[in-house]
């Protein structure tokens, strides 16, 4: 029994030593919420996204400071923060989840892999389960995460008044393009 | 049995170490992104003007604002002048955000055929749990147009006689999501006044504010108390302190401001010091400010993309 104890102890130590993590504070997320026939583009870029990926088990978290979304028009940015996202009340959007199924540990293998990421997405104080297809590219102590998915604004308690319904769509297309480096 | 349970306990512990929970990862991110930088308070006001007065809000860098300001005649004129609608004064102007902290503007007023220009500089920004107020300096110059007035014998009317200068300190605080107030100590200097009995330099204290009644509608008001020269007439007519009451209505692309005021003039010298109507006699003017903003220089994040569509 003592031997088993030692083996488990050794295994646990070696496992945590191998728990390689990748991180960024300058990840990029963009979104486009332009209504189909809108005369102007409703899109924004955020270059201050923080994320950590734990390579061995594929656990992944994102933190998005809402105020860091930059719009082409300052007025849109004001309205986005004040009326739609209420960023004073909900300063961050978050994702907590991981790479699904047998691919969970895939970030330990270099190359480009198509994966599905599942987890809880919190926007505007509302949390929903999401499942998102994406691409993960591992090379040279860096991991690149790419994904495109759509969220229904309604699902996250963001209401668009009729006045701007011809410009702001019911869905926002979110594009993640972030490079994480090994810690 | 004991051995097995210890082993199981260790096994679970080892897995916990092996894969931290997402909550642990999130707090790791929290620690990594923590900064001591205090966040700036934004949207103290919806627009760059309360009603007549400038606010501490500046246009963003690279944004051009085309403004049409309208003040109708006296409502008390009644049906004769269609409650003032027949006698409007207008200012058309262009404002531009040069940098985050500097904004400039020019305009032409139908009243007195006045041309004016101003600069507004952000000196301090209110911060969450930090600086309690935002402070801006406003400096304006206005030149009367039109024909030279009748001068006393032996006196000539020089161009400098047409000029008035305004200096204001705008001190604002956003008290809550809904309530913002602004104090405006002001100095207006007129190069030419009617009588040597009065001072060319006039001091006043303005106060203004807004209260949001919904996400898109706010009630606004502003008032100026004149410290000296309050009894100085304008063209022989008694003057009063300026008081305006209105509403900001936010639509998609701009803020529409509607209000009642006893001041028909739009430049600082007119509304602060040359208001000849009074609320108590119902000598009100209905007015509105409309603005349309154009993004001239796009934020750096968008410079590589297709050109911005302004319409």
CATH of the domain at B265: 2.40.160.40
Residue B162's φ and ψ, nearest 5 degrees, are -80, -10
pLDDT mean across residues, chain B:
88
Instruction: Map residue B125 onto helix, strand or coil.
Output: coil
Q: How far apart are CA B265 and CA B239, in angstroms?
A: 13
Closest CA of chain B from A79, distance in Å: 9
What are the sequence ranges of the domains in chain A? 20-182
A163 touches B: beta carbon within 8 Å:
yes
Q: How far apart are CA B131 and CA B172, in angstroms?
A: 11
Residue B24 placed within a domain: no
Residue B215 placed within a domain: yes
- Predicted confidence at residue B92, as pLDDT, reads 96
> What's the average model confidence in pLDDT over B91-104?
96
**Structural contact between residues A105 and A133, judged by C-beta atoms closer than 8 angstroms:** no
Q: What range does the domain containing B223 cover?
A: 63-149+158-302
Please judge whether B252 and A163 are an interchain contact, meaning their C-beta atoms are less than 8 angstroms apart. yes
More confident residue, A110 or B17: A110
Q: Nearest by CB to A12, which of B13, B43, B252?
A: B13
pTM here?
0.83
Closest CA of chain A from B134, distance in Å: 18
Residue B12 placed within a domain: no
Query: Tokens in use for A145?
Result: 């995460």
- Predicted confidence at residue B6, as pLDDT, reads 57
Give the closest residue to B168 by CA, choosing from B199, B214, B205, B200. Answer: B205
Residue B14 placed within a domain: no
Nearest-10 crossing angle of helices B2-18, A2-17:
10
Closest CA of chain B from A95, distance in Å: 9
User: What is the CA angle A38-A43-A48, rounded to 5?
Assistant: 170
**Structural contact between residues B235 and B31, judged by C-beta atoms closer than 8 angstroms:** no
User: What is the CA angle B308-A163-B53, rounded to 5?
Assistant: 75
Please judge whether A8 and B19 are an interchain contact, meaning their C-beta atoms are less than 8 angstroms apart. no
A17 touches B: beta carbon within 8 Å:
no
Residue B10 placed within a domain: no
Chain B residues within 8 A of A68 when measuring between CB atoms: none
B255-261 vs B163-174, strand pairing mode: unpaired
- Predicted confidence at residue B2, as pLDDT, reads 59
CB atoms within 10 A of CB B295: 20
Residue B84 placed within a domain: yes
- Predicted confidence at residue B31, as pLDDT, reads 87
Please judge whether A72 and B6 are an interchain contact, meaning their C-beta atoms are less than 8 angstroms apart. no
Query: Tokens in use for B126?
Result: 């209110």
Positive/negative CA dihedral, A8, A11, A16, A17: positive
Please enumerate in sequence order all residues whose Cβ is within 8 A of that of A46, keeping only pairs 6 or more positions apart, or say none: A28, A29, A30, A64, A65, A68, A69, A70
Residue B253 placed within a domain: yes
- pLDDT of B17 over the 50 cut: no
CATH of A20-182, one of 3.30.390.10, 1.20.58.1610, 2.40.128.110, 1.25.40.10: 2.40.128.110
Residue B259 placed within a domain: yes
> In total, how many domains does chain B have?
1
Share of chain B above pLDDT 90, in %: 62
A175 touches B: beta carbon within 8 Å:
no
Task: Give residue-wise pLDDT tens across range B54-87.
Answer: 999 999 999 999 999 999 988 877 777 777 777 7
Q: What share of chain A is helix, strand, coil (3-state, %, to 5)?
A: 25, 50, 25
DSSP H or E segment with residue B12: helix B2-18
DSSP H or E segment with residue B30: helix B22-33
């Amino acid at each position: 029994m003592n031997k088993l104890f030692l083996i488990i102890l050794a295994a646990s130590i070696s496992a945590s030593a191998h728990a390689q993590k990748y991180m960024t504070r300058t990840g990029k997320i963009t979104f486009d919420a332009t209504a189909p026939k809108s005369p102007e583009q409703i899109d924004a870029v955020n270059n201050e996204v923080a994320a950590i990926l734990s390579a061995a088990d594929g656990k992944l978290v994102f933190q998005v400071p809402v105020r860091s979304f930059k719009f082409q028009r300052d007025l849109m940015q004001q309205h986005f923060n004040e009326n739609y996202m209420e960023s004073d009340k909900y300063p961050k959007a978050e994702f907590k989840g991981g790479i699904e199924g047998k691919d969970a540990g895939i970030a330990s293998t270099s190359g480009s892999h198509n994966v599905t990421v599942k987890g809880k997405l919190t926007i505007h104080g509302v949390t929903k389960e999401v499942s998102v297809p994406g691409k993960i590219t591992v090379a040279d102590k860096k991991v690149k995460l790419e994904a495109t998915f759509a969220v229904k604004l309604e699902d996250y308690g963001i209401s668009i008044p009729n006045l701007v319904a011809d410009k702001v769509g019911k869905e926002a297309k979110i594009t993640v393009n972030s490079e994480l480096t090994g810690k | 049995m004991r051995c097995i349970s210890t082993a199981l306990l260790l096994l679970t512990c080892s897995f916990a170490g092996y894969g931290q929970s997402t909550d642990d990862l999130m707090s790791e991110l929290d620690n990594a992104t923590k900064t001591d930088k205090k966040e700036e308070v934004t949207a103290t006001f919806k627009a760059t003007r309360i009603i007549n007065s400038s606010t501490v809000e500046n246009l963003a860098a690279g944004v051009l604002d085309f403004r049409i300001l309208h003040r109708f005649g006296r409502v008390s004129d009644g049906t004769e002048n269609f409650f003032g609608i027949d006698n409007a004064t207008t200012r058309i102007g262009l404002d531009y955000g040069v940098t985050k902290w500097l904004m400039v503007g020019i305009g032409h007023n139908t009243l007195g055929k006045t041309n004016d220009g101003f600069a507004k500089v952000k000196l301090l920004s209110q911060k969450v749990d930090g600086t309690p107020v935002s402070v801006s300096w406003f400096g304006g110059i206005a030149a009367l147009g039109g024909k030279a007035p009748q001068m006393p014998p032996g006196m000539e009317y020089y161009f400098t006689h047409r000029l008035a200068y305004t200096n204001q300190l705008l001190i604002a605080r956003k008290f809550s999501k809904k309530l913002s107030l602004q104090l405006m100590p002001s100095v207006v200097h007129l190069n030419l006044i009617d009588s040597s009995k009065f001072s060319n330099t006039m001091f006043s204290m303005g106060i203004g504010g807004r209260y949001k009644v919904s996400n898109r509608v706010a009630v606004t008001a502003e008032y100026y108390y004149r410290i000296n020269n309050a009894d100085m007439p304008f063209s022989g007519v008694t003057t009063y302190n300026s008081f305006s009451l209105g509403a900001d209505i936010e639509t998609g692309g701009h803020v529409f401001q509607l209000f009642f005021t006893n001041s028909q003039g739009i430049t600082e010298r007119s509304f602060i010091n040359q208001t000849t109507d009074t609320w108590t006699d119902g000598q009100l003017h209905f007015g509105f400010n409309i603005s349309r903003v154009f993004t001239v220089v796009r934020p750096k994040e968008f410079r590589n993309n297709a050109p911005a569509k302004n319409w």
